[in-house]
Amino acid sequence: MSASTNPRLTVETTPLSAAPAFTEILDAAHPLLWRRRGAGLVGYGLTARLEFRGANRVADAAFAWHEIVANATVSDTVNLPGSGLTAFGSFAFADSSAASSVLVIPEVIIGRRDGVAFVTTTTVEGHAPAQARIPDIAPLGHRPKVSFSSGEQSEAGYRASVREAVGRIQRGDMSKVVLARDLRGTLAAGADIRPMIIDLAQSYPDCWTFSIDGLIGSSPETLVRVHDKTMDARVLAGTAARGTDAHTDLEAAAELATSSKDLDEHAFAVRSVVDSLEPFTSHLSTGDSPFTLRLANLWHLATDVTGAVADGATSLDLVAALHPTAAVAGTPRNAALELIEELEPFDRGRYAGAVGWVGASGDGEWAIALRCVQVEGPTVTAYAGCGVVANSDAEAELRETTMKFRPVVEALSPID
């Protein structure tokens, strides 16, 4: 269904007495999931799939979503985030990307929030309504096992790109640029991608685990979340590996918290987010200084941004304003994007774009698509990037990308 199509939808959300764990009810053919800390949404079937491209892709999606909501009949007795008319979304990173950006409206959504389980059915007017229940789920099939190798950007090529970027930064062309590299692998015939999703959800419960239109990952970074006229975002920039024991782990966190290189990189990212959000909010607040966020394999510098959303602004409006942040592009934005296009020999696709969901009220939860892979047929492409500043070291940045690949590579390369 194209973005210009305006279906008339009938939507009904009712409570469920109980729902099993989301990872137990993923659809085998097209797993559709948004989950963090046991709460979230899992979808089945397809009522509508809207595609967008170009520089106005998020704004076009916001307009199309407004039209769909205006023509929908919604009955929602649950009234929780994610209930009622809801679309899953995933957006390409670059304006020129060949990858489509999508909003996907499933036939059935099973949700859980604040201890309440619910089911939403969405049908096109005149069609037979979907059954308000958990569909029959196929047993888990062959576990995927993928051997990754360098994609279009080799390790040597990445080091060279970092060195070139450092030279441009020292020359004054920009303050920061985020450069990524890619890995490629192939799924065996009959492999079931659901075990990978389950591993990510269980290994990284504090991250946003997602599976939307073939984009699968667990992102630690909240781009923006809007609930009932309030918004919050979490900015991550600055990274260190976890230590090998309690002592070295604390040393790694302390070194990160005092690293001038990482603190500078983080400050650029926070300023980018605040500047982008201010036109859409009545007030904003941030922490006085970043804190260290512990993940299973990494430490990050993190800052939370909170505020009140101005009248009429939706989560998609905020996504359009924020993307791409300095955390995934650089500073100044346009100069960084030009250098990314020059130095990265591949299309990022939806990597580092926005991924999440939007509801009928405009509320939603959106993360930056990091620690992820794109699955297209048998081909699996993983991406990881690092922020390059004036004193970056090419070998250190390469090692950081290897750390960032670890979640998806381990989920797809299990040890027997």
Point out the residues that are catalytic: 176, 221
Q: How many residues in the chain? A: 416
**Phi-psi group of 412: left, alpha or beta (phi > 0 → left; psi -120 to 50 → alpha; rest → beta):** alpha
Residue 29, number of CB atoms within 10 A of its CB: 6
What single string gives the DSSP state of each residue in 217-240?
EEE--EEEEEETTEEEEEEEEEEE
Tokens of 283: 């007030």
Contacts of 78 (CB under 8 A, 6+ apart): 13, 14, 15, 84, 116, 118
Q: What DSSP state is assigned to residue 26? A: -
Query: Which secondary-structure segment (H or E) carries 158?
Result: helix 155-170
Identify the three-state secondary structure at position 215: strand
Identify the three-state secondary structure at position 382: strand
Rounded Cα distance between 197 and 186, Å, is 17
Rounded Cα distance between 37 and 206, Å, is 6
Q: Going along 153-214, which residue ranges are E strands?
A: 176-186, 208-212
Name which of 352, 318, 329, 289 is nearest 58 in CA terms.
318
Query: Which secondary-structure segment (H or E) carries 187?
Result: none
Task: Give, rounded to a whole angstrom, the gap between the first and last alpha carbons of the chain.
Answer: 42
